[in-house]
Amino acid sequence: MTRSPTQFVLAARVLHWLMALLIVSMLFIGVGMVASVSERHAWLISIHKPLGIAILLLAVVRLIVRLRNPPPPLPADLPALQKFAAHASHWLLYVLMLLIPLVGWAMLSAGGYPVMLSDSLRLPSIFPANAVAFAVLRHAHAWLAMLLLLTFLAHLGAALYHGLIRRDGVLRSMVGGRAP
Amino acid sequence: MNAPSQFPAPPPLSRSSMLLRFALIGAVLLIVVLAFGYVGGWLAPQRLTAQRMVNQLQANAGVFPGYRRNHAKGVCVAGYFDSNGQAQAFSVAQVFAPGRTPVVGRFAVPVGNPYAPDSSAPIRSMALRFTEANGQQWRSGMNSMPVFPVGTPQAFFELLQAQHPDPASGKPDPAKLGAFFASHPETSAFLAWVKTAKPSASYATESYWSLNAFVLVDANGDKHPVRWRMVAENGNSTPGGSDPNYLDADLAQRLAQGPQRWHLVLTLASPGDPTDDASKEWPADRHEVDAGTLVLTGTEPQESGPCRDINYDPTVLPNGIQISDDPLLPARSAAYATSYLRRTSEEAHLPGTAASHTEAK
């Protein structure tokens, strides 16, 4: 596989689109399960926990891929503020992808719950049982998820701005395909 | 290959084309926000949520920071479950293998006010957390009645609404309660039972029913729908007196004389028995299995005991026990989680909670 400086490497692109799907699904699953008392509540929670751990593991892999393969540079004529926003939001996304699952795991541990990923697969506790810590972590989990939603919206809006308005190759660098 | 800075400049967009593209971007973002708002319930205010259920409990009983939003008056207990191995044929759960599993439990009165008299309700509840050696847990919340008044979360919410105290009398409006029961014929089994029920003088003499159905999974993966109950060895139930607080002292006195015992009796469903409707009893001739003995040895106040920070969510289950299609189970899980978050947030004195109220007491 050849590597072109105008594109993210294939591994980065595959991880990006897979995780985009998982993370957006996860945001909707999370907000939907806490707003439901129906059977949906039970099965959304049973998806939420293993999916969260999957996102955590994929985020670690992705961070390694990202550090080993510097992304293509942003267009030279992009205003400095937009460059800063791009870099800051990308690192914020990495932080949230890693942090939110860890906070969720710690939150269940602090609440004294067994962290069950399936009927029989149980993760160890990563935080001592403590009701005050549970409350803080539970609120943090929700607020960090809202921050992730806002960051995702900014990311999506910026990607479409590059693709539809500036048409500067930034969106193509992640979508793939050849430059015209 | 071109570097991005040398990316061929695209032909400029016309003013109308540019506006259209900005509008398209805005529309995509708006659709995501609206979908999120709908799924999250903010744009669907009529949907029954756990928050609305717990709000109704608070509206009925008041807010007592740090306490459970229902079954608020209670006491911690501790002990163990001695399994006799009889249930192993139906479930691979470690708790059913012969041997001992530690238990942290809680007895309670089903009221929202932790200072209400013990005689406020003719029902007692028993909540248990079994911790298996493999770290998995079985949590169960049971009541001293054989059948639940309603079968769905929506009907339960309407019952709570009908129980809302009239501001003038401080008591539920009998006309509203009557209208509720008249329009909910599924409550007849519960109403027939409650006519004969009296507030008992002791937690130790009552038997406690799971009410909801669950599913046991055996070693072959075969599923067995089941309900269970804890049957008191000393079933000599007597009505309580006029003192507002007699249950905790009774329990402490009995435990000082020796452990108190219950038998875990599993009732296996026959084909056709409803697993999705806790308002319907199963016929009395169903196959029953005595799975072992619950032995309670000690008690502590709930304000400082180990049960305080446990959410007795009945959907926390070990391998070998699963939830059934009973619609009350996910609703209980969601509502208990909401109650747990509110009371732990109060313990943490987080901003926006009613915690400052406690400090004044």
Helix H or strand E segment including A33: helix A10-33
How distant, in Å, are the alpha carbons of A96, A139, A145, B258 from that of A142? 12, 5, 5, 46
| B54 has pLDDT over 70 | yes
Predicted local confidence at residue A178, as pLDDT: 62
Verify whether the Cβ–Cβ distance A153 to B32 is below 8 Å.
yes
User: Residue A179 — very low, low, confident or very high, per pLDDT cuts 50/70/90?
Assistant: low
In a domain, A3, yes or no: no
> In whole numbers, what is the pLDDT of chain A averaged over residues?
94
| B358 has pLDDT over 50 | no
Chain B interface, best mutation among A6, A21, A23, A37, by max B CB count within 10 A: A37
Helix H or strand E segment including A123: strand A122-123
Determine the distance in angstroms separating the CA of A109 from the nearest CA of chain B, rounded to an integer. 12
Residue B17 sits at the chain A interface (C-beta within 8 Å): no
| B359 has pLDDT over 80 | no
| B3 has pLDDT over 60 | no
Determine the distance in angstroms separating the CA of B239 from the nearest CA of chain A, rounded to an integer. 36
Predicted local confidence at residue B7, as pLDDT: 61
Chain A interface, best mutation among B34, B39, B76, B323, by max A CB count within 10 A: B39
- Reported as a single tens digit per residue, the pLDDT across B130-188 is 999 999 999 999 999 999 999 999 999 999 999 999 988 889 999 999 999 999 999 99
> In whole numbers, what is the pLDDT of chain B averaged over residues?
95
Range of the domain at A88: 10-74+83-175
Verify whether the Cβ–Cβ distance B49 to A160 is below 8 Å.
no
Domain count, chain A: 1
Residue B296 sits at the chain A interface (C-beta within 8 Å): no
Determine the distance in angstroms separating the CA of A64 from the nearest CA of chain B, rounded to an integer. 24
Q: What is the mean pLDDT of residues A87-93?
A: 97
In a domain, A5, yes or no: no
Looking at domain B48-360, its CATH architecture is Beta Barrel (2.40)
Within chain B, what is the greatest distance between any pair of CA atoms? 91
| B71, B164, B287, B349: the active-site residue | B71
Q: Please report the beta strands in chain B, taking only residues with DSSP state E, as ranges in sequence order.
A: 73-83, 99-109, 125-131, 137-143, 208-209, 214-217, 223-232, 260-268, 288-301, 321-323
User: Residue A6 — very low, low, confident or very high, per pLDDT cuts 50/70/90?
Assistant: confident
Please tell me the total number of residues recorded for chain A in this structure: 180
The C-alpha atoms of residue A43 and residue A50 are separated, in whole angstroms, by 12
CB contact at 8 A, B211 and B84? no
Phi-psi region of B305 (alpha: psi -120 to 50; beta: other; left: phi over 0): beta
Verify whether the Cβ–Cβ distance A153 to B29 is below 8 Å.
yes
Residue B321 sits at the chain A interface (C-beta within 8 Å): no
- Reported as a single tens digit per residue, the pLDDT across B75-131 is 999 999 999 999 999 999 999 999 999 999 999 999 999 999 999 999 999 999 999
CB contact at 8 A, A35 and B39? yes
Residue B308 sits at the chain A interface (C-beta within 8 Å): yes
Predicted local confidence at residue B360, as pLDDT: 37
Residue A156's closest chain B neighbor by CA? B29
Q: What is the mean pLDDT of residues B230-235?
A: 96
Helix H or strand E segment including A136: helix A131-160
Task: Tell me which residues of chain B, numbers 50 to 109, contact chain A at a CB-CB cutoff of 8 Å.
Answer: 50-51, 53
Distance between start and end Cα atoms, chain B:
74
Domain boundaries, chain B: 48-360
Q: Dump the DSSP string for A64-107.
A: HHHHHSPPPPPPTTS-HHHHHHHHHHHHHHHHHHHHHHHHHHHH
B164 is catalytic: no
Q: pTM for the complete prediction?
A: 0.94
| B24 has pLDDT over 50 | yes
Predicted local confidence at residue A125, as pLDDT: 97
Chain A residues with beta carbon closer than 8 angstroms to that of B32: 153, 156
Verify whether the Cβ–Cβ distance A157 to B36 is below 8 Å.
no
| A104 has pLDDT over 90 | yes
Q: Which residue has the higher pLDDT, B1 or B257?
A: B257
Determine the distance in angstroms separating the CA of B93 from the nearest CA of chain A, rounded to an integer. 10
- Reported as a single tens digit per residue, the pLDDT across B260-273 is 999 999 999 999 99
From the list B2, B48, B340, which residue is nearest A6 (CB)?
B2
Verify whether the Cβ–Cβ distance B7 to A168 is below 8 Å.
yes
The C-alpha atoms of residue A175 and residue A127 are separated, in whole angstroms, by 40
Predicted local confidence at residue A2, as pLDDT: 47
In a domain, A1, yes or no: no
